[in-house]
Structure 1
């Protein structure tokens, strides 16, 4: 029997976007532009009766290296040549929070990783309404040093193991949530209105904060209980719409999880690999992460999960059609309507599912910025500075390759 509320009912209709500098040049202006774009999406999200509590919004930044090192130095934390840093939601109870810190450190040691230190994230509580404050977790930032001799890929896989083992050990702690822990990016999110995210996190006004890419999201919860952990972006993506096939996707993944293999990772100890309750976006982010950790690149992984309509499409390249046919044997489509923006260590990308019922408009500027958003008007750019523009259609994807500097059209 299902009561009035069940987490399986959760789905979303939101605003999203990304800004990326194709040559991977970091700037504080890009971060400011992303915050400004997010603030212009207030109409896209739910706002509580107190006028300050929101359904959730957030920002995912491509690794702001000098910023993170400056924060570590200010906090007396020694980080190595290769390290990761991310925000962690902890219990407001000091004993439970300390237990979570110790568990994460113990799991890190078993993986030859080193927790260099924790930093209490400065928070301006005046940015929150009473409803958001009542459920706000303790927010801290952890710094983790890689095992000496590691490369970025092996470190990212070790961080996945670290997070999943800690989550499993702390599954009784409903407050513990790792917002992000990656050598590539860092996320900030909360149950505030979009124009107050920068106020909530004064770190985002730090003199050293700069990035070459940012994904932003404003959540509108439909039949959903807003929660801090469910604000987006998640660790790799932000999503507008609903995954209407979500129960089937979860059931199939639960059934085939034990058979999932990769030469890079034994996933069996981490089952279930995706969230079986909560938001559809979170489950999709979990699944994308599994494929990335397993060795796929982001465009390939997302095409496997959210393919276009490829059957009986005569205009499609035969090799591409064969790709979709092959992966259809092992993965069912995560069907929307859905618009998705993504960011990892190499790509900033956007795709629509094959229904194409979510808006995503893009433009490319002379100074080589790719801007994607669920509506126009969120990014100020002179008409003469626009090199190309358009909107995504059903099943289309665009991406910025931050390694090569290429704009990849669908």
Structure 2
């Protein structure tokens, strides 16, 4: 290394002030842009993508310098945009909250893709709802690396209308969760050669995930929707991935349906084993017999964050609040020597019999 480099840059890394080199480590990049008044605009997406690009140094690439470990963002479902895009195909989209938008990665093989789509339609119909139609998500493979483009799935969106015509959006959101889990299991049970390419990024009445095996600066150029001013949101949660315990892939890019994460969950194997061991004892007043349709809660081959996301999903679907669920999954230290309100200590002690901490740096 040239002496000039040492002279100019080494002092920056010395232990001065609050900096301590013993705490230096790599991790993913996460960011949030939100309008605190809940006002939706395309500007929030523009700013979210700017944050994502500025987190590029927190991501990673491999032998192909243009193929990253993954990047993505989660936004509110842009209702007017969905109505316009599907309406252009002659599809009438229901009012907001009465339909779910699915974002799905599919095999590139025509026959295998058709089989996956048939499974989606079959499960939706069996659950008493209506698959209204499909939309090819416009993308630019030239905007991403060669290796990423080779592995790229066929990306589509689909709309599911609420067959119950209910005004209870949470209830329909639960139904979409049940539908998605059954679709995933049905595809996994097939003999399709490329079934690992199948992945539902999101299926929801209120949010949609755009992600992929891209670098942070490539995402906007890859997904044309993100440059469309009709796509509006009041928040954008972004992530640039630096994979550690799993290799980069399209479906393992963040965000997941609820979670983005920038560390490791070292206890994930034990957490998964205990979750599986308890599945036969699952009971839910809200989900009723449908709780069995959600099994298995977790699936092999996922990342630690994907598994945590699975656990969070089922807690939320059972009617718990986000705060309640996260305090169950990742409790703070609550031992006898920790000063804490007794009610909070009792909460942690009670829930420790149901869930082990998902722990890690």
TM-score, L = length of structure 2: 0.87
| Greater displacement, 271-280 / 192-201 | 271-280
Is the CA contact (8 Å cut-off) linking 1:86 and 1:187 kept in structure 2? no
Q: 1:237 aligns with which of 240, 251, 259?
A: 259
Q: In 1, Cα distance between the equivalents of 2:218 and 2:88? A: 25
Where 1:325 maps in the other structure, the secondary structure is helix
Q: Deviations over 1:13-47 (max 9, x none)?
A: 31112222232111111111111100111111112
Deviation at 1:98, TM superposition (A): 0.8
Is the CA contact (8 Å cut-off) linking 1:70 and 1:208 kept in structure 2? no
Where 2:70 maps in the other structure, the secondary structure is strand
Q: 2:119 aligns with which of 103, 127, 152?
A: 103
- Give the length in aligned residue pairs: 326
Asked if 1:190 is matched to 2:212, the reply is yes
Q: In 1, Cα distance between the equivalents of 2:286 and 2:328? A: 19
Q: 2:176 aligns with which of 153, 159, 166?
A: 159
Q: Aligned pair in 2 of structure 1 residues 49, 75: CA closer, same or farther (>3 Å)? A: farther
Q: Deviations over 1:244-269 (max 9, x none)?
A: 00111011011011112111223223
Partner of 2:352: 328
Is the CA contact (8 Å cut-off) linking 2:245 and 2:303 kept in structure 1? no
Where 2:45 maps in the other structure, the secondary structure is helix
Is the CA contact (8 Å cut-off) linking 1:113 and 1:144 kept in structure 2? yes
Asked if 1:66 is matched to 2:80, the reply is yes
Deviation at 1:274, TM superposition (A): 1.2
Ranges in structure 2 where 5+ consecutive residues have no aligned partner: 1-25
Deviation at 1:314, TM superposition (A): 5.1
Q: In 2, Cα distance between the equivalents of 1:25 and 1:242? A: 34
Q: Deviations over 1:314-356 (max 9, x none)?
A: 532221221111111110000011xxxxxxxxxxxxxxxxxxx
Q: In 2, Cα distance between the equivalents of 1:142 and 1:74? A: 14
Q: Deviations over 1:351-384 (max 9, x none)?
A: xxxxxxxxxxxxxxxxxxxxxxxxxxxxxxxxxx
Q: In 2, Cα distance between the equivalents of 1:223 and 1:270? A: 26
Partner of 2:148: 132
Asked if 1:170 is matched to 2:187, the reply is yes
Is the CA contact (8 Å cut-off) linking 1:244 and 1:336 kept in structure 2? yes
Partner of 2:21: none
Q: Which runs of 4+ in 1 moved over 4 A?
A: none
Larger strand proportion, structure 1 or 2?
1
Q: Aligned pair in 2 of structure 1 residues 317, 70: CA closer, same or farther (>3 Å)? A: farther
Is the CA contact (8 Å cut-off) linking 1:58 and 1:189 kept in structure 2? yes
Asked if 1:224 is matched to 2:246, the reply is yes
Partner of 1:30: 44
Partner of 1:267: 291
Q: In 2, Cα distance between the equivalents of 1:76 and 1:205? A: 24
Partner of 1:308: 332
Q: In 2, Cα distance between the equivalents of 1:277 and 1:257? A: 19
Q: In 1, Cα distance between the equivalents of 2:309 and 2:162? A: 24
Larger helix proportion, structure 1 or 2?
2
Partner of 1:112: 128
Q: In 1, Cα distance between the equivalents of 2:122 and 2:62? A: 40
Q: Deviations over 1:147-195 (max 9, x none)?
A: 2432211111110111111111110422211000011100000111101
Deviation at 1:272, TM superposition (A): 1.6
Task: Give 1 or 2 for the bigger CA radius of gyration.
Answer: 2
| Greater displacement, 267-276 / 282-291 | 267-276
Is the CA contact (8 Å cut-off) linking 2:116 and 2:187 kept in structure 1? yes
Partner of 2:272: 250
Partner of 1:6: none
| Greater displacement, 305-314 / 102-111 | 305-314
Q: Deviations over 1:277-304 (max 9, x none)?
A: 3200000000000101111111111111
| Greater displacement, 290-299 / 61-70 | 61-70
Partner of 1:298: 322
TM-score, L = length of structure 1: 0.77
Q: In 2, Cα distance between the equivalents of 1:312 and 1:268? A: 38
Question: Pairwise CA RMSD of aligned residues?
Answer: 1.4
